[in-house]
Amino acid sequence: MVEEITDANFDEKTGQTGLVVVDFHATWCGPCKMYGPIFEQVAGENTDVKFYKMDNDANQKGKDLGVMGVPTTIFFKGGAEVDRQAGLMDAVTLKSKVDSLKVTNVNTGKPLNTSTP
């Protein structure tokens, strides 16, 4: 199950090493309810990535980040936003974004060198 985070622990959770994915949602949002199981599924398939959910109505952080509509998915590396997607994504699209961002150097935009010297 994906952990729900709040303003109080947002910086700690999104500042972790590696890729962190946050689903900004609202309890009243129909598309958010449809996206929840998709987000959970992709999280379960990517145990090397941290996935979190945040209620955009109950927390200020989403507003500070300019989240204007829900669902919005924001991708972080080392506490910095590296990508975002507003709206509902299917599992294939979300997984593709996660896979791409896992292996991309956010400073250069180029694939990480996974070979060892």
Q: Is 29 annotated in the active site?
A: yes
Kindly name the residue from 19, 20, 32, 38 that is annotated as catalytic: 32
Could you tell me if residue 112 is inside a domain? no
Residue range 9-39, pLDDT digits in tens: 999 999 999 999 999 999 999 999 999 999 9
User: 50 lies in which domain range?
Assistant: 3-102
- Biggest distance spanned by C-alpha atoms of the chain: 52
Could you tell me if residue 111 is inside a domain? no
Q: For tokens 């060198």, what's the residue?
A: 113
Q: Is 32 annotated in the active site?
A: yes
Could you tell me if residue 107 is inside a domain? no
Could you tell me if residue 113 is inside a domain? no
Could you tell me if residue 116 is inside a domain? no
Q: Which amino acid is at 41?
A: Q
Kindly name the residue from 5, 19, 22, 29 that is annotated as catalytic: 29
Burial class (CB in 10 A: 0-12, 13-18, 19+), 65: middle
CATH of the domain at 36: 3.40.30.10
pTM of the model: 0.90
- Position 110 scores a pLDDT of 58
The radius of gyration of the chain from alpha carbons, rounded to an integer in Å, stands at: 14
Count of domains observed in the chain = 1
Could you tell me if residue 110 is inside a domain? no
Q: Which two tokens stand for residue 64?
A: 């500070």
